[in-house]
Chains A and B, each alone.
Chain A
Amino acid sequence: MSHTTPMVEDGPTGADRLKPFVPYLLVLPGLLFVMGILGYAVVGGIILSLNETDMFMNKTFVGLKNYIDVFADPRFQDAMVRTLNFVVISIVLGIFMSMSFALVLYKVVRGRRFFRGLSLVPYFVSGIATAVMFRFIFTTSGGFVNTVLAQLGLPAQSWLGDPTLAFVVAIMANCWFMVPFASLILLGGLQTIDKDLYDAAAIDGANPIQIFFRITLPLIKPMLGVSLIWVSYISFSTFDIVLALTSGGPLKATELVSIYMYELAFQQLNFGQGAVLMVVLLVFNTVLSLIYIKIFVMGDRRHSEAGK
């Protein structure tokens, strides 16, 4: 029985049956509040995207003009391509790191609690602080990496001044922040696997790599799905880390959609076009989440029900 299955049709106990409105009283305040604010913002944003705004926020309805303008804007197209690159590389690197971390956290015996506790620390560091810390790791004079290079007698590099290197550093900062949570989710998946299965597979002659791909991976599919959703969600909507790390530079090398959105609305005061980018972010995230849910959660449910 699923743990969210309610008890009986009429509430926690038959004794409470005379008050059928009770669950709504419990559930609705929070929901109305959330939908009131966030729903209002989403709907407001969609309406805003159909309007042209001037500096004094006077709106004129222009239909899809903002969309046409934005999609034809080469700066947006670049930002979109860059964001997709950023997301794909972040997902691949992030999931690889999360899986590696999860596996060692699963395997390690001595100091297990310490390592697990430590691994989650970046999750509690704000995006801005993450960015600032990474700035001082990679800053040209006084950065950790260049200090180490100097100690080794190697020349300093301009990590954040080079477009390609800056892009890489942004991805690293993003991974630093998002990998811990994803790896703990995967660790949770690993812990649900019956250890006898590994013994059985070893007796059947499978090597560690085969065991990982044939036993471990299929069994943690739902958790893999959850961590993929998390990693994609974070990467797609990365904003504060990149804003504080590079402000989109150098030479727009790290200008992601979210950064360009901020620039359009808050610097150029073009709220209509900014709202278009909001819709783009929303649609991408929703579609991606739905795809993952369909592949991992639904697929797995069908699988496990067939197995019963």
Chain B
Amino acid sequence: MAEGYVEYRNLRKSFGGLEILHGVDLTIPEGAFAVLVGPSGCGKSTLLRMTAGLENVTSGEINIAGRMVNNVHAKNRGIAMVFQSYALYPHMSVEDNMSFGLKMRKTPLQLITDRIKRAASILKLGPMLDRLPSQLSGGQRQRVAMGRALTREPEVFLFDEPLSNLDAKLRVEMRAEIKALHQRLKTTTIYVTHDQIEAMTMADLVVVMHDGRIEQVGEPLAIYDRPANLFVAEFLGSPAMNLIPGIIAQDADGRVVQTESGLRLPLEPEANGTVGQKVVYGIRPEHLQLDPAGDLPIRLTLVEPAGWETHVHADLGGHIVRMVSTKRVAQRAGDSTTATIDATRAHLFDAATGNRL
């Protein structure tokens, strides 16, 4: 396996006596778009800030391009960062914002002009170069922040929740723009977000973090299809995966998961797990479908038509489950009907450890 471009080895971070990163090992290949995702307080921003050199390393190693950078000053790490608040210099024009870093590095004037021109054309900032940040819209500021990072021509781009201050529509647009930018420049990128949709749509490599640990690393769909544990299963996907505790039991047709209320949930023959084991049965909303010929009795509690898909909440043997159907749903809340589960898409987790079986 090739040497990773950004590598973390048993990286730890403590504030005061409180350890908030408990030994992170991670390798990000050159040119990858890696997304660190997790709930707030999971340590993803701290990891990013340590990469940038804004927080020091308590123990362990950070390597960038094969060089250990623990004691390298932030400005010499070859990184550029886009902040959540953009952190534009409010008293400088867009052009000065973009050239400040180059001026601080005593870059020749001609080179500065060239780089700004290039960044401005990539990000369509040309007409705004003389304006102050306060005269720009949220999306424009976002682009200036990216432009500022771009002019530095860094080896690694760092993004700290860059889209969270934008409204929903703009967020979708900028998502596509950042992704397109990466496909054009192929610069290694580390992107922090708490939004799992951003992680799924943008990443080559998703890193799910929780409580200062990495829970799972992989391609977005690989993680989506095979979450390593209950946390990842629940965190990725919207609406979230349905999780129903039960015990593996032997049925006439093979093994099933029997819930406390006596419900029998189907398993495919190849499924891991032994009879009598306590498990959590996971099924994504799109793999649990309303089906008049189905064998699971349900009672609908909420029907939310969202246009091209319909979200349904239903009571399945005492558990509220979520379903997503791309068909229109004729039934209403309160109706009783039946559903089927696509057993090949069922996930099994050990009830004690939470790990995938």
Tell me if chains A and B make direct contact, with any CB pair below 8 A: yes
Within A12-59, the residues touching B (CB, 8 Å) are 13-15, 17
- Return the contact of A9 from the options B15, B53, B54 (Cβ within 8 A): B15
Complex Cα distance A13/B55, Å?
A: 7
Q: Is the CB of A13 within 8 A of B53?
A: yes
- On chain A, the number of residues with a Cβ less than 8 Å from chain B's Cβ atoms is 7
Which of A8, A9, A10, A14 has the most chain B CB within a 10 Å cutoff? A14
Bound complex: CA A13 to CA B15 (Å): 14
Tell me the complex Cα distance, A14–B75, Å: 11
Docked complex: B27-68 residues within 8 A CB-CB of A: 49-50, 53-56
A14 touches B74 (CB 8 A): yes
Q: CA–CA, A179 to B16, complex, Å? A: 47
Inter-subunit contact B16/A13 (CB<8 Å): no
The answer to whether A15 touches B16 (Cβ under 8 A) is: no
Contact check, A15 vs B74: say whether CB atoms are below 8 A apart. yes
Assembled-state Cα–Cα distance A195/B287 (Å): 52
B131 surroundings in chain A (CB, below 8 A) = none
Bound: A17/B70 CA distance, A? 12
By the criterion CB–CB under 8 Å, are A14 and B16 in contact? no
B55 neighbours in A (Cβ, 8 Å):
8, 14
B73 at the interface (CB under 8 A from A): yes
Q: A10 CA to B14 CA in the complex, in Å?
A: 12
Q: Which chain B residue has the least Cβ–Cβ distance from A7?
A: B54
In angstroms, how far is the closest chain B Cβ from the Cβ of A16? 9
CB distance from A1 to the nearest CB of B (A): 13
- What is the chain B residue whose CB lies nearest that of A13? B54
B75 to chain A: closest residue by CB: A15
Q: Which residues of A contact B75 (CB under 8 A)?
A: 15
A296 to B53, CA, bound (A): 42
For B50, the chain A residues whose CB sits under 8 A away are: 14
Minimal Cβ-Cβ distance residue in B for A11 = B56
Nearest to A17 among chain B residues (CB) is B56
- Please report B residues at the A interface, Cβ cutoff 8 Å: 15-16, 49-50, 53-56, 73-75
Q: What are 20 pairs between A and B in contact, CB < 8 Å?
A: A8-B15, A8-B55, A9-B15, A9-B16, A10-B56, A13-B54, A13-B74, A14-B49, A14-B50, A14-B53, A14-B54, A14-B55, A14-B56, A14-B74, A15-B53, A15-B54, A15-B73, A15-B74, A15-B75, A17-B56
Chain A residues in the interface with B (C-beta under 8 A): 8-10, 13-15, 17
**Further pairs besides A9-B15, A10-B56: 9, Cβ < 8 Å:** A9-B16, A13-B53, A13-B74, A14-B49, A14-B53, A14-B54, A15-B53, A15-B74, A17-B56
Considering the complex of A and B, which 9 residue pairs feature the smallest CB-CB distances, nearest first?
A14-B56, A15-B74, A14-B55, A15-B73, A17-B56, A13-B54, A15-B53, A14-B54, A14-B53
